[in-house]
Amino acid sequence: MREIKFRYTVVRENGFVFHGDFDFSKHSEWIVKEWVELNKINYKDIFKRQYTGKTDLNEIEIFKGDLIQNESGRICEVYFNEIVGCWDAKVIELTNGDNSNGFEYCDWGSTTIIGNIYEESS
C-alpha cells in the first residue's frame, strides 16, 4: 500500500513553529482533529504538507515546502508541479553563477534537507 503521510506544520502568531506527522495508511484522519484540540491549535495556523515518497541523502522523508540542497549548493523549495503532475523543486538560491531552473532530472537521494519555508534554514 502507498504511504499517505502528511506533516502538519503549525506557525503560531508569536512565531513558534511545531509539527505533527500523520500516516493515513495506518491511522484515521480523526487523529488530526484530536491533535488539533489537544494542542489548542487554530486551524488558520496549520499548513498541510504532503510526503513526496522521497528521502534525502540521510534518508529523511521529504515533504512539500522543504528546502533541499544538492551537492553543488543549489537550494530549492519542494512543491507539487500541477502542470506536469509530479513533485518538483524550484530554485530559491543559486550558487557559483548557476542560472538553471530547479533540479533537472533530480536525484532526490543526493540532496539534503536544510529546513522548510515555515522556519529559518539550518
Domain for residue 121, yes or no?
no
* pLDDT single digits (tens) 34-70: 999 999 999 999 999 999 999 999 999 999 999 999 8
**What is the residue range of 70's domain?**
5-116
Domain for residue 122, yes or no?
no
For the beta carbon of residue 90, count every other beta carbon within 10 angstroms: 12
| pTM of the full structure | 0.83
Report the domain count for the chain: 1
Which tops the pLDDT comparison, 35 or 98?
35
Domain for residue 27, yes or no?
yes
Give the closest residue to 38 by CA, choosing from 16, 20, 24, 25.
Answer: 20
Strand order in the sheet with 86-93: 86-93, 75-81, 66-69, 112-116
Domain for residue 101, yes or no?
yes
Domain for residue 61, yes or no?
yes
Give the mean model confidence (pLDDT) for residues 8-30: 88
